[in-house]
Chain A
Amino acid sequence: MAAVSEVARADLRRLRRRRLMESRWILWVTTPVLLLLLLGAWKLYTVISGVGALTVPPPEAVGGALFELLGRDMLYEAAYYTFYSTVMGFIIAVVVGVGLGIVLGKMHLLEKISAPFLVATQVVPKVAIVPLVLLWFGFGIASKIFMAAIISFFVVMQNTILGIRSIDPGHRDLMKVIRAPWWKRIISLDIPSSLPFVLTGVELGVVFAITGAIVGEFLGGDDGLGALAVVMLAGMRTDQLFATVIVMTLMGFVLYAVVSAIRRVAIPWHESSGRVTSL
Protein backbone atom coordinates (compact mmCIF):
# COMPACT_ATOMS: atom_id res chain seq x y z
CA MET A 1 0.00 0.00 0.00
CA ALA A 2 2.80 2.35 0.87
CA ALA A 3 4.36 1.83 -2.55
CA VAL A 4 1.07 2.67 -4.23
CA SER A 5 0.69 5.95 -2.39
CA GLU A 6 4.32 6.72 -3.21
CA VAL A 7 3.52 6.32 -6.90
CA ALA A 8 0.35 8.38 -6.52
CA ARG A 9 2.30 11.16 -4.86
CA ALA A 10 4.88 11.13 -7.65
CA ASP A 11 2.08 11.37 -10.19
CA LEU A 12 0.58 14.28 -8.36
CA ARG A 13 3.92 16.05 -8.29
CA ARG A 14 4.32 15.55 -12.03
CA LEU A 15 0.83 16.85 -12.64
CA ARG A 16 1.49 19.94 -10.56
CA ARG A 17 4.74 20.58 -12.35
CA ARG A 18 3.01 20.34 -15.73
CA ARG A 19 0.28 22.72 -14.61
CA LEU A 20 2.97 25.15 -13.51
CA MET A 21 4.68 24.85 -16.92
CA GLU A 22 1.45 25.54 -18.73
CA SER A 23 0.23 28.45 -16.67
CA ARG A 24 0.97 31.91 -17.98
CA TRP A 25 0.91 33.85 -14.72
CA ILE A 26 4.07 32.11 -13.56
CA LEU A 27 6.04 34.74 -15.50
CA TRP A 28 4.36 37.53 -13.54
CA VAL A 29 5.98 36.11 -10.44
CA THR A 30 9.34 34.92 -11.69
CA THR A 31 10.21 37.92 -13.87
CA PRO A 32 10.10 40.58 -11.11
CA VAL A 33 11.92 38.25 -8.70
CA LEU A 34 14.71 37.53 -11.18
CA LEU A 35 14.90 41.21 -12.09
CA LEU A 36 15.29 42.20 -8.44
CA LEU A 37 18.02 39.58 -8.00
CA LEU A 38 19.81 40.98 -11.03
CA LEU A 39 19.58 44.55 -9.70
CA GLY A 40 20.83 43.36 -6.33
CA ALA A 41 23.84 41.67 -7.90
CA TRP A 42 24.56 44.80 -9.90
CA LYS A 43 24.40 46.99 -6.80
CA LEU A 44 26.56 44.57 -4.86
CA TYR A 45 29.19 44.65 -7.59
CA THR A 46 29.40 48.45 -7.62
CA VAL A 47 29.81 48.49 -3.84
CA ILE A 48 32.32 45.66 -3.46
CA SER A 49 34.53 46.28 -6.47
CA GLY A 50 34.76 49.99 -5.92
CA VAL A 51 34.39 50.58 -9.65
CA GLY A 52 33.77 54.21 -10.52
CA ALA A 53 30.27 55.51 -11.27
CA LEU A 54 31.60 56.64 -14.65
CA THR A 55 32.31 53.03 -15.63
CA VAL A 56 29.43 51.19 -13.96
CA PRO A 57 26.90 53.49 -12.30
CA PRO A 58 24.89 51.86 -9.50
CA PRO A 59 21.29 50.90 -10.35
CA GLU A 60 19.71 53.72 -8.34
CA ALA A 61 21.77 56.29 -10.29
CA VAL A 62 20.57 54.78 -13.56
CA GLY A 63 17.03 54.79 -12.21
CA GLY A 64 17.36 58.46 -11.36
CA ALA A 65 18.81 59.24 -14.78
CA LEU A 66 15.99 57.32 -16.44
CA PHE A 67 13.46 59.24 -14.39
CA GLU A 68 15.12 62.52 -15.33
CA LEU A 69 15.21 61.58 -19.01
CA LEU A 70 11.56 60.59 -18.95
CA GLY A 71 10.74 64.16 -17.94
CA ARG A 72 12.44 65.65 -21.00
CA ASP A 73 11.09 65.98 -24.57
CA MET A 74 14.50 65.06 -25.93
CA LEU A 75 13.97 61.40 -25.04
CA TYR A 76 10.54 61.19 -26.64
CA GLU A 77 11.74 62.90 -29.81
CA ALA A 78 14.67 60.49 -30.04
CA ALA A 79 12.51 57.46 -29.27
CA TYR A 80 9.94 58.48 -31.86
CA TYR A 81 12.66 58.99 -34.46
CA THR A 82 14.11 55.54 -33.80
CA PHE A 83 10.67 53.96 -33.68
CA TYR A 84 9.70 55.57 -36.97
CA SER A 85 12.86 54.55 -38.85
CA THR A 86 12.64 51.03 -37.40
CA VAL A 87 9.03 50.55 -38.43
CA MET A 88 9.51 52.07 -41.88
CA GLY A 89 12.63 50.00 -42.54
CA PHE A 90 10.90 46.93 -41.20
CA ILE A 91 7.86 47.41 -43.44
CA ILE A 92 10.12 47.76 -46.47
CA ALA A 93 11.99 44.62 -45.38
CA VAL A 94 8.77 42.64 -44.99
CA VAL A 95 7.36 43.75 -48.35
CA VAL A 96 10.60 43.11 -50.25
CA GLY A 97 11.52 40.01 -48.25
CA VAL A 98 8.12 38.33 -48.61
CA GLY A 99 7.78 39.32 -52.27
CA LEU A 100 11.25 38.14 -53.20
CA GLY A 101 10.81 35.07 -51.02
CA ILE A 102 7.66 34.02 -52.86
CA VAL A 103 9.29 34.52 -56.26
CA LEU A 104 12.50 32.70 -55.30
CA GLY A 105 10.57 29.99 -53.46
CA LYS A 106 8.62 29.27 -56.63
CA MET A 107 11.55 29.49 -59.04
CA HIS A 108 14.20 27.05 -57.93
CA LEU A 109 16.60 27.87 -60.73
CA LEU A 110 16.45 31.62 -60.11
CA GLU A 111 17.01 31.01 -56.41
CA LYS A 112 20.00 28.82 -57.13
CA ILE A 113 21.53 31.38 -59.49
CA SER A 114 20.99 34.31 -57.17
CA ALA A 115 21.91 32.51 -53.94
CA PRO A 116 25.64 33.49 -53.90
CA PHE A 117 24.73 37.15 -54.34
CA LEU A 118 22.00 37.08 -51.72
CA VAL A 119 24.37 35.41 -49.27
CA ALA A 120 27.03 37.97 -50.19
CA THR A 121 24.70 40.79 -49.13
CA GLN A 122 24.49 39.07 -45.76
CA VAL A 123 28.14 38.26 -45.14
CA VAL A 124 29.20 41.84 -45.83
CA PRO A 125 29.46 43.29 -42.31
CA LYS A 126 26.55 45.70 -42.29
CA VAL A 127 28.22 48.04 -39.84
CA ALA A 128 31.09 48.41 -42.30
CA ILE A 129 28.83 49.73 -45.02
CA VAL A 130 27.28 52.38 -42.82
CA PRO A 131 29.71 55.04 -44.14
CA LEU A 132 28.63 54.15 -47.67
CA VAL A 133 24.99 54.30 -46.69
CA LEU A 134 25.57 57.73 -45.19
CA LEU A 135 27.29 58.80 -48.39
CA TRP A 136 24.35 57.65 -50.51
CA PHE A 137 21.41 58.49 -48.29
CA GLY A 138 22.81 61.37 -46.25
CA PHE A 139 22.65 61.92 -42.49
CA GLY A 140 18.87 62.12 -42.46
CA ILE A 141 16.30 59.48 -41.71
CA ALA A 142 16.65 57.76 -45.11
CA SER A 143 19.96 56.17 -44.14
CA LYS A 144 18.45 54.82 -40.88
CA ILE A 145 15.48 53.36 -42.67
CA PHE A 146 17.80 51.77 -45.19
CA MET A 147 19.94 50.21 -42.43
CA ALA A 148 16.89 48.84 -40.63
CA ALA A 149 15.56 47.41 -43.89
CA ILE A 150 18.74 45.79 -45.14
CA ILE A 151 19.55 44.12 -41.83
CA SER A 152 16.10 42.65 -41.30
CA PHE A 153 15.14 41.76 -44.87
CA PHE A 154 17.22 38.62 -45.25
CA VAL A 155 15.70 36.63 -42.41
CA VAL A 156 12.21 37.51 -43.65
CA MET A 157 13.07 36.39 -47.17
CA GLN A 158 14.78 33.17 -46.06
CA ASN A 159 11.81 32.14 -43.97
CA THR A 160 9.39 32.97 -46.78
CA ILE A 161 11.39 30.78 -49.19
CA LEU A 162 11.34 28.00 -46.62
CA GLY A 163 7.58 28.46 -46.18
CA ILE A 164 6.87 28.25 -49.90
CA ARG A 165 9.10 25.19 -50.21
CA SER A 166 7.36 23.50 -47.31
CA ILE A 167 3.93 23.47 -48.93
CA ASP A 168 2.57 19.92 -48.87
CA PRO A 169 2.79 18.39 -52.39
CA GLY A 170 -0.59 16.75 -51.66
CA HIS A 171 -2.12 20.20 -51.22
CA ARG A 172 -0.58 21.30 -54.52
CA ASP A 173 -2.13 18.26 -56.22
CA LEU A 174 -5.44 19.10 -54.60
CA MET A 175 -5.40 22.62 -56.06
CA LYS A 176 -4.64 21.15 -59.49
CA VAL A 177 -7.42 18.58 -59.26
CA ILE A 178 -10.03 21.17 -58.30
CA ARG A 179 -8.74 23.35 -61.14
CA ALA A 180 -8.01 26.33 -58.93
CA PRO A 181 -6.72 29.30 -60.96
CA TRP A 182 -3.25 30.63 -60.11
CA TRP A 183 -4.53 33.49 -57.94
CA LYS A 184 -6.71 31.09 -55.99
CA ARG A 185 -3.71 28.86 -55.34
CA ILE A 186 -1.74 31.83 -54.01
CA ILE A 187 -4.56 33.10 -51.80
CA SER A 188 -5.90 29.78 -50.56
CA LEU A 189 -2.73 27.72 -50.36
CA ASP A 190 0.62 29.48 -50.78
CA ILE A 191 -0.04 32.35 -48.38
CA PRO A 192 -1.80 30.54 -45.50
CA SER A 193 0.49 27.53 -45.74
CA SER A 194 3.70 29.58 -45.58
CA LEU A 195 2.33 32.08 -43.05
CA PRO A 196 3.77 30.34 -39.95
CA PHE A 197 7.23 30.48 -41.53
CA VAL A 198 6.82 34.05 -42.75
CA LEU A 199 5.67 35.19 -39.32
CA THR A 200 8.66 33.53 -37.69
CA GLY A 201 10.86 35.51 -40.08
CA VAL A 202 8.93 38.67 -39.26
CA GLU A 203 9.32 38.06 -35.54
CA LEU A 204 13.08 37.74 -35.91
CA GLY A 205 13.18 40.58 -38.43
CA VAL A 206 11.69 43.22 -36.16
CA VAL A 207 14.52 42.73 -33.67
CA PHE A 208 17.09 43.09 -36.43
CA ALA A 209 15.35 46.22 -37.69
CA ILE A 210 15.81 47.99 -34.35
CA THR A 211 19.49 47.07 -34.35
CA GLY A 212 19.86 48.40 -37.88
CA ALA A 213 18.21 51.71 -37.12
CA ILE A 214 20.26 52.27 -33.95
CA VAL A 215 23.55 51.36 -35.61
CA GLY A 216 22.72 53.91 -38.32
CA GLU A 217 22.07 56.53 -35.66
CA PHE A 218 25.30 55.77 -33.82
CA LEU A 219 27.41 56.56 -36.78
CA GLY A 220 25.75 59.55 -38.35
CA GLY A 221 23.22 62.28 -37.68
CA ASP A 222 21.88 63.91 -34.52
CA ASP A 223 18.54 62.21 -34.11
CA GLY A 224 17.32 59.03 -32.51
CA LEU A 225 18.21 56.96 -29.46
CA GLY A 226 21.52 55.88 -31.04
CA ALA A 227 22.64 59.47 -31.47
CA LEU A 228 21.39 60.26 -27.95
CA ALA A 229 23.58 57.47 -26.59
CA VAL A 230 26.59 58.96 -28.38
CA VAL A 231 25.84 62.37 -26.84
CA MET A 232 25.61 60.82 -23.35
CA LEU A 233 28.94 59.13 -23.85
CA ALA A 234 30.57 62.31 -25.03
CA GLY A 235 29.20 64.11 -21.97
CA MET A 236 30.46 61.30 -19.69
CA ARG A 237 26.90 60.69 -18.48
CA THR A 238 27.23 56.93 -18.14
CA ASP A 239 24.09 56.77 -16.01
CA GLN A 240 22.04 58.38 -18.77
CA LEU A 241 23.73 56.15 -21.33
CA PHE A 242 22.50 53.14 -19.35
CA ALA A 243 19.05 54.69 -19.16
CA THR A 244 19.01 55.18 -22.93
CA VAL A 245 19.91 51.53 -23.46
CA ILE A 246 17.03 50.56 -21.18
CA VAL A 247 14.65 52.65 -23.29
CA MET A 248 15.96 50.95 -26.45
CA THR A 249 15.37 47.55 -24.84
CA LEU A 250 11.84 48.47 -23.83
CA MET A 251 11.09 49.59 -27.36
CA GLY A 252 12.39 46.27 -28.66
CA PHE A 253 10.14 44.42 -26.23
CA VAL A 254 7.09 46.37 -27.31
CA LEU A 255 7.70 45.80 -31.03
CA TYR A 256 8.40 42.13 -30.48
CA ALA A 257 5.27 41.73 -28.37
CA VAL A 258 3.14 43.38 -31.05
CA VAL A 259 4.53 41.11 -33.79
CA SER A 260 4.14 38.04 -31.57
CA ALA A 261 0.53 38.93 -30.86
CA ILE A 262 -0.13 39.32 -34.57
CA ARG A 263 1.34 35.86 -35.08
CA ARG A 264 -0.97 34.29 -32.53
CA VAL A 265 -4.04 36.00 -33.96
CA ALA A 266 -3.12 35.32 -37.59
CA ILE A 267 -2.55 31.57 -37.31
CA PRO A 268 -4.80 30.24 -34.56
CA TRP A 269 -4.86 26.88 -36.36
CA HIS A 270 -1.11 26.38 -36.10
CA GLU A 271 0.54 24.24 -33.43
CA SER A 272 2.76 27.12 -32.34
CA SER A 273 -0.30 29.08 -31.25
CA GLY A 274 -1.22 26.28 -28.89
CA ARG A 275 -4.92 27.05 -28.58
CA VAL A 276 -6.97 24.40 -30.29
CA THR A 277 -6.66 21.07 -28.57
CA SER A 278 -7.27 17.67 -30.05
CA LEU A 279 -10.49 15.81 -29.26
Chain B
Amino acid sequence: MSSRTEPTATESSAVSEEGAPSGSAIEIEGVSKTYAADAGPVHALTPTDLRVGPGEFVVLLGPSGCGKTTLLRMLAGLEVPTQGSVRIGDRTLFAPGALTPQSEALGSLGFVFQAPTLLPWRRIAKNIELPLEGKGPGRRERRERATRMAEKVGLEDFLGHYPRQLSGGMQQRAAIARALVHDPDILLMDEPFGALDAMTRDQMNILLQQLWLDTGKTVVLVTHSISEAVFLADRIVLLSPRPGRVQDIVEVGFPRPRPLSVSADPKFGELVAYLRSQLGEQP
Protein backbone atom coordinates (compact mmCIF):
# COMPACT_ATOMS: atom_id res chain seq x y z
CA MET B 1 0.00 0.00 0.00
CA SER B 2 2.78 2.40 0.76
CA SER B 3 6.15 2.56 -0.81
CA ARG B 4 9.08 4.40 0.64
CA THR B 5 11.37 6.34 -1.58
CA GLU B 6 14.80 7.72 -0.88
CA PRO B 7 14.89 11.29 0.37
CA THR B 8 15.16 13.66 -2.55
CA ALA B 9 16.87 16.35 -0.55
CA THR B 10 20.20 16.95 -2.17
CA GLU B 11 22.89 19.58 -2.22
CA SER B 12 21.91 22.70 -4.08
CA SER B 13 24.40 21.90 -6.83
CA ALA B 14 22.45 18.85 -7.91
CA VAL B 15 19.60 20.68 -9.61
CA SER B 16 18.03 20.09 -12.99
CA GLU B 17 18.85 22.31 -15.95
CA GLU B 18 17.46 25.83 -15.82
CA GLY B 19 14.14 26.44 -17.52
CA ALA B 20 13.37 22.83 -18.39
CA PRO B 21 9.62 22.35 -18.88
CA SER B 22 8.61 20.65 -15.69
CA GLY B 23 4.86 20.17 -15.60
CA SER B 24 5.13 20.58 -11.83
CA ALA B 25 2.69 22.69 -9.84
CA ILE B 26 5.48 23.71 -7.48
CA GLU B 27 9.18 23.34 -8.00
CA ILE B 28 11.69 24.08 -5.27
CA GLU B 29 15.37 23.91 -6.09
CA GLY B 30 18.16 24.24 -3.55
CA VAL B 31 16.02 26.40 -1.30
CA SER B 32 17.45 27.19 2.11
CA LYS B 33 16.69 29.69 4.83
CA THR B 34 19.10 31.08 7.39
CA TYR B 35 18.08 33.61 10.00
CA ALA B 36 20.60 35.97 11.49
CA ALA B 37 20.60 35.91 15.29
CA ASP B 38 22.82 37.33 18.02
CA ALA B 39 24.08 33.86 18.88
CA GLY B 40 25.02 33.22 15.25
CA PRO B 41 23.06 32.18 12.16
CA VAL B 42 20.14 29.78 12.60
CA HIS B 43 19.64 27.28 9.80
CA ALA B 44 15.88 27.03 9.59
CA LEU B 45 16.09 24.99 6.40
CA THR B 46 19.13 23.47 4.69
CA PRO B 47 19.14 23.35 0.86
CA THR B 48 16.05 21.44 -0.18
CA ASP B 49 14.62 20.21 -3.47
CA LEU B 50 10.96 19.33 -3.86
CA ARG B 51 8.53 18.94 -6.71
CA VAL B 52 4.80 18.86 -6.24
CA GLY B 53 2.77 17.52 -9.16
CA PRO B 54 -0.49 19.10 -10.34
CA GLY B 55 -3.42 17.85 -8.27
CA GLU B 56 -1.17 16.22 -5.73
CA PHE B 57 -1.83 16.34 -1.98
CA VAL B 58 1.50 16.78 -0.21
CA VAL B 59 1.84 17.01 3.54
CA LEU B 60 4.89 18.52 5.21
CA LEU B 61 5.21 16.69 8.54
CA GLY B 62 7.61 17.37 11.34
CA PRO B 63 8.10 18.65 14.88
CA SER B 64 8.34 22.35 15.64
CA GLY B 65 11.57 23.93 14.46
CA CYS B 66 11.97 21.64 11.45
CA GLY B 67 11.38 24.43 8.93
CA LYS B 68 8.06 23.15 7.58
CA THR B 69 6.23 26.41 8.14
CA THR B 70 9.22 28.37 6.82
CA LEU B 71 9.15 26.29 3.64
CA LEU B 72 5.41 26.83 3.21
CA ARG B 73 5.69 30.56 3.83
CA MET B 74 8.39 30.77 1.16
CA LEU B 75 5.98 29.14 -1.29
CA ALA B 76 3.53 31.94 -0.50
CA GLY B 77 6.13 34.68 -0.90
CA LEU B 78 5.91 35.55 2.82
CA GLU B 79 9.56 34.64 3.47
CA VAL B 80 12.49 35.08 1.13
CA PRO B 81 14.80 32.09 0.59
CA THR B 82 18.44 32.64 1.49
CA GLN B 83 19.39 30.56 -1.54
CA GLY B 84 17.65 28.65 -4.28
CA SER B 85 14.65 29.17 -6.52
CA VAL B 86 10.92 28.59 -6.30
CA ARG B 87 8.62 28.15 -9.27
CA ILE B 88 4.84 28.11 -9.09
CA GLY B 89 3.34 26.51 -12.18
CA ASP B 90 5.23 28.03 -15.12
CA ARG B 91 6.07 31.24 -13.28
CA THR B 92 9.14 32.04 -11.22
CA LEU B 93 8.32 33.20 -7.68
CA PHE B 94 11.90 33.46 -6.48
CA ALA B 95 14.81 33.42 -8.89
CA PRO B 96 18.09 32.42 -7.21
CA GLY B 97 19.31 35.32 -5.09
CA ALA B 98 16.07 37.30 -5.47
CA LEU B 99 15.28 39.64 -2.58
CA THR B 100 11.55 39.99 -3.23
CA PRO B 101 8.93 37.60 -4.60
CA GLN B 102 7.56 38.12 -8.08
CA SER B 103 4.00 38.56 -7.00
CA GLU B 104 2.39 37.61 -10.33
CA ALA B 105 3.27 34.03 -9.44
CA LEU B 106 1.07 34.33 -6.33
CA GLY B 107 -2.13 34.72 -8.32
CA SER B 108 -2.66 30.98 -8.47
CA LEU B 109 -2.24 30.47 -4.72
CA GLY B 110 -4.67 30.28 -1.86
CA PHE B 111 -3.39 30.29 1.73
CA VAL B 112 -5.00 29.06 4.92
CA PHE B 113 -3.26 30.22 8.09
CA GLN B 114 -3.00 28.53 11.45
CA ALA B 115 -5.47 31.05 12.86
CA PRO B 116 -8.58 31.85 10.79
CA THR B 117 -7.37 35.48 10.38
CA LEU B 118 -10.85 36.63 9.43
CA LEU B 119 -11.30 40.39 9.57
CA PRO B 120 -13.54 40.90 12.63
CA TRP B 121 -15.27 43.97 11.18
CA ARG B 122 -16.47 42.11 8.11
CA ARG B 123 -19.35 39.69 7.96
CA ILE B 124 -18.56 36.18 6.72
CA ALA B 125 -19.67 36.89 3.13
CA LYS B 126 -17.47 39.98 2.94
CA ASN B 127 -14.56 38.04 4.44
CA ILE B 128 -14.83 35.34 1.79
CA GLU B 129 -15.03 38.00 -0.94
CA LEU B 130 -11.87 39.78 0.19
CA PRO B 131 -9.40 38.23 -2.31
CA LEU B 132 -11.68 39.18 -5.21
CA GLU B 133 -11.90 42.86 -4.31
CA GLY B 134 -10.10 45.21 -6.63
CA LYS B 135 -9.30 42.35 -8.99
CA GLY B 136 -12.04 42.64 -11.59
CA PRO B 137 -15.19 40.79 -10.51
CA GLY B 138 -18.04 43.19 -9.79
CA ARG B 139 -20.03 43.36 -6.58
CA ARG B 140 -22.66 40.85 -7.69
CA GLU B 141 -20.24 38.32 -9.09
CA ARG B 142 -18.16 38.56 -5.91
CA ARG B 143 -21.20 37.87 -3.78
CA GLU B 144 -22.24 34.95 -6.00
CA ARG B 145 -18.84 33.34 -5.83
CA ALA B 146 -18.61 33.87 -2.09
CA THR B 147 -22.03 32.30 -1.65
CA ARG B 148 -21.06 29.31 -3.76
CA MET B 149 -17.87 28.79 -1.75
CA ALA B 150 -19.79 29.15 1.51
CA GLU B 151 -22.12 26.38 0.36
CA LYS B 152 -19.17 24.12 -0.37
CA VAL B 153 -17.85 24.50 3.18
CA GLY B 154 -21.31 24.38 4.77
CA LEU B 155 -21.54 28.01 5.84
CA GLU B 156 -24.42 29.14 3.62
CA ASP B 157 -26.55 30.02 6.65
CA PHE B 158 -23.86 32.16 8.26
CA LEU B 159 -23.03 34.64 5.51
CA GLY B 160 -24.44 37.53 7.52
CA HIS B 161 -22.67 36.67 10.78
CA TYR B 162 -19.62 38.33 12.21
CA PRO B 163 -16.61 36.01 12.68
CA ARG B 164 -16.76 36.15 16.47
CA GLN B 165 -20.25 34.71 16.36
CA LEU B 166 -18.87 31.49 14.86
CA SER B 167 -17.02 28.59 16.47
CA GLY B 168 -13.35 27.98 15.74
CA GLY B 169 -14.11 25.21 13.25
CA MET B 170 -16.63 27.35 11.39
CA GLN B 171 -14.19 30.25 11.28
CA GLN B 172 -11.59 27.98 9.71
CA ARG B 173 -14.18 26.81 7.16
CA ALA B 174 -14.69 30.45 6.22
CA ALA B 175 -10.93 30.85 5.90
CA ILE B 176 -10.81 27.88 3.53
CA ALA B 177 -13.66 29.33 1.48
CA ARG B 178 -11.77 32.64 1.31
CA ALA B 179 -8.58 30.88 0.18
CA LEU B 180 -10.45 29.15 -2.66
CA VAL B 181 -12.79 31.93 -3.77
CA HIS B 182 -10.54 33.17 -6.57
CA ASP B 183 -10.19 29.58 -7.81
CA PRO B 184 -6.42 29.19 -7.37
CA ASP B 185 -4.60 26.11 -8.68
CA ILE B 186 -2.75 25.60 -5.43
CA LEU B 187 -3.90 25.63 -1.83
CA LEU B 188 -1.28 26.12 0.88
CA MET B 189 -2.30 25.30 4.44
CA ASP B 190 -0.26 26.04 7.56
CA GLU B 191 -1.43 23.74 10.37
CA PRO B 192 -4.99 24.80 9.60
CA PHE B 193 -6.67 22.51 12.13
CA GLY B 194 -4.05 22.65 14.89
CA ALA B 195 -6.23 24.72 17.19
CA LEU B 196 -9.36 22.58 16.80
CA ASP B 197 -10.61 19.76 19.02
CA ALA B 198 -10.17 16.20 17.77
CA MET B 199 -13.76 15.70 16.60
CA THR B 200 -13.93 18.98 14.72
CA ARG B 201 -10.56 18.16 13.27
CA ASP B 202 -11.83 14.85 11.87
CA GLN B 203 -14.78 16.64 10.27
CA MET B 204 -12.47 19.23 8.75
CA ASN B 205 -10.20 16.51 7.36
CA ILE B 206 -13.19 14.86 5.67
CA LEU B 207 -14.34 18.22 4.32
CA LEU B 208 -10.89 19.06 3.02
CA GLN B 209 -10.51 15.69 1.30
CA GLN B 210 -13.90 16.17 -0.36
CA LEU B 211 -13.04 19.68 -1.54
CA TRP B 212 -9.75 18.38 -2.91
CA LEU B 213 -11.46 15.50 -4.73
CA ASP B 214 -14.12 17.84 -6.16
CA THR B 215 -11.80 20.59 -7.31
CA GLY B 216 -8.56 18.78 -8.17
CA LYS B 217 -6.43 21.50 -6.57
CA THR B 218 -2.83 20.96 -5.65
CA VAL B 219 -2.58 21.04 -1.85
CA VAL B 220 0.47 21.50 0.34
CA LEU B 221 -0.46 21.15 3.99
CA VAL B 222 1.77 21.56 7.03
CA THR B 223 0.99 19.59 10.17
CA HIS B 224 2.61 18.01 13.19
CA SER B 225 -0.13 15.40 13.51
CA ILE B 226 1.06 12.06 12.12
CA SER B 227 -2.44 10.59 11.73
CA GLU B 228 -3.71 13.71 9.96
CA ALA B 229 -0.78 13.45 7.57
CA VAL B 230 -1.42 9.77 6.79
CA PHE B 231 -5.15 10.34 6.40
CA LEU B 232 -4.84 13.23 3.94
CA ALA B 233 -1.62 12.84 2.01
CA ASP B 234 -0.65 11.34 -1.32
CA ARG B 235 2.90 11.97 -0.25
CA ILE B 236 4.34 12.86 3.14
CA VAL B 237 7.53 14.91 3.30
CA LEU B 238 9.07 14.22 6.67
CA LEU B 239 11.24 17.04 7.98
CA SER B 240 13.62 16.96 10.91
CA PRO B 241 14.90 19.89 12.96
CA ARG B 242 18.22 21.56 13.81
CA PRO B 243 19.02 22.09 11.05
CA GLY B 244 15.72 21.79 9.19
CA ARG B 245 16.00 19.23 6.40
CA VAL B 246 14.00 16.63 4.51
CA GLN B 247 14.52 13.32 6.27
CA ASP B 248 12.25 11.05 4.29
CA ILE B 249 9.48 11.06 1.71
CA VAL B 250 6.68 8.54 2.05
CA GLU B 251 3.97 7.69 -0.49
CA VAL B 252 0.54 6.95 0.95
CA GLY B 253 -1.62 4.78 -1.29
CA PHE B 254 -4.96 4.30 0.44
CA PRO B 255 -7.81 4.60 -2.09
CA ARG B 256 -9.95 7.72 -2.15
CA PRO B 257 -12.21 8.87 -0.76
CA ARG B 258 -10.78 7.69 2.51
CA PRO B 259 -13.31 7.22 5.31
CA LEU B 260 -12.29 8.03 8.88
CA SER B 261 -12.33 4.28 9.50
CA VAL B 262 -9.22 3.96 7.33
CA SER B 263 -7.31 4.60 10.52
CA ALA B 264 -8.39 1.14 11.70
CA ASP B 265 -6.54 -0.39 8.72
CA PRO B 266 -3.42 -2.23 9.98
CA LYS B 267 -1.38 -0.64 7.21
CA PHE B 268 -2.46 2.78 8.47
CA GLY B 269 -1.16 1.83 11.91
CA GLU B 270 2.08 0.53 10.42
CA LEU B 271 2.68 3.75 8.56
CA VAL B 272 1.93 5.85 11.62
CA ALA B 273 4.32 3.68 13.64
CA TYR B 274 7.01 4.00 10.98
CA LEU B 275 6.70 7.78 10.86
CA ARG B 276 6.70 7.98 14.63
CA SER B 277 9.89 5.94 14.81
CA GLN B 278 11.47 8.17 12.16
CA LEU B 279 10.53 11.26 14.13
CA GLY B 280 11.80 9.61 17.31
CA GLU B 281 15.21 8.97 15.76
CA GLN B 282 15.85 12.65 15.51
CA PRO B 283 18.54 14.01 17.78
Structural contact, B76 and A192, CB atoms closer than 8 A: no
- Chain B residues within an 8 Å CB radius of A108: none
Structural contact, A171 and B130, CB atoms closer than 8 A: no
| Alpha-carbon gap, A207 to B243, bound state (A) | 57
Q: How far is the CB of B93 from chain A (nearest CB, A)?
A: 12
Structural contact, A188 and B111, CB atoms closer than 8 A: no
Q: Choose among B107, B121, B134 the residue with the greatest number of A CB atoms under 10 Å from its CB.
A: B121
Structural contact, B103 and A188, CB atoms closer than 8 A: no
Structural contact, A188 and B130, CB atoms closer than 8 A: yes
- Chain A residues within an 8 Å CB radius of B122: 269
Structural contact, A188 and B117, CB atoms closer than 8 A: no
- Chain A residues within an 8 Å CB radius of B162: 269, 276
- Chain A residues within an 8 Å CB radius of B270: none
Q: What number of A-B contacts does a CB cutoff of 8 Å give? A: 62
Q: Does A11 contact B (CB under 8 A)?
A: no
- Chain A residues within an 8 Å CB radius of B134: 180-181, 184
| Alpha-carbon gap, A174 to B76, bound state (A) | 10
Q: Does A248 contact B (CB under 8 A)?
A: no
Structural contact, B77 and A192, CB atoms closer than 8 A: no
- Chain B residues within an 8 Å CB radius of A170: 113-115, 117
How many residues of chain A have a CB within 8 Å of chain B? Answer: 24
Residue-wise, chain A 171-203 has the 8 Å CB interface mask toward B (1 for contact) of 101101111110010001100110100000000
Q: How far is the CB of B245 from chain A (nearest CB, A)?
A: 25
Which of A179, A189, A279 is close to B103, meaning CB atoms less than 8 Å apart?
A: A179
Size range of the interface on B?
A: 20 to 34
Knowing A179-B106, A179-B107, say if A174 contacts B117 (CB, 8 Å): yes
Chain A residue with the shortest CB-CB distance to B109: A177
- Chain A residues within an 8 Å CB radius of B121: 192-193, 195, 267, 269-270
Structural contact, A171 and B119, CB atoms closer than 8 A: yes
| Alpha-carbon gap, A181 to B133, bound state (A) | 10
| Alpha-carbon gap, A170 to B116, bound state (A) | 9
- Chain B residues within an 8 Å CB radius of A77: none
Q: Which of B38-46, B145-153, B163-171 contacts A (4 or more CB under 8 A)?
A: B163-171
| Alpha-carbon gap, A267 to B103, bound state (A) | 33
| Alpha-carbon gap, A276 to B166, bound state (A) | 12
Which of B78, B107, B120, B167 is close to A173, meaning CB atoms less than 8 Å apart?
A: B78
Within 8 A of B (CB), among A122-172: 168, 170-171
- Chain B residues within an 8 Å CB radius of A179: 103, 106-107
Q: Does B65 contact A (CB under 8 A)?
A: no
| Alpha-carbon gap, A181 to B119, bound state (A) | 17
Structural contact, B77 and A279, CB atoms closer than 8 A: no
- Chain A residues within an 8 Å CB radius of B76: 176-177
Q: How far is the CB of B106 from chain A (nearest CB, A)?
A: 5
- Chain A residues within an 8 Å CB radius of B166: 279
Structural contact, A189 and B131, CB atoms closer than 8 A: no
- Chain B residues within an 8 Å CB radius of A192: 119, 121
8 A-B residue pairs with Cβ-Cβ distance under 8 Å, sorted by A, are A174-B130, A178-B131, A179-B103, A181-B134, A189-B119, A192-B119, A276-B164, A279-B161
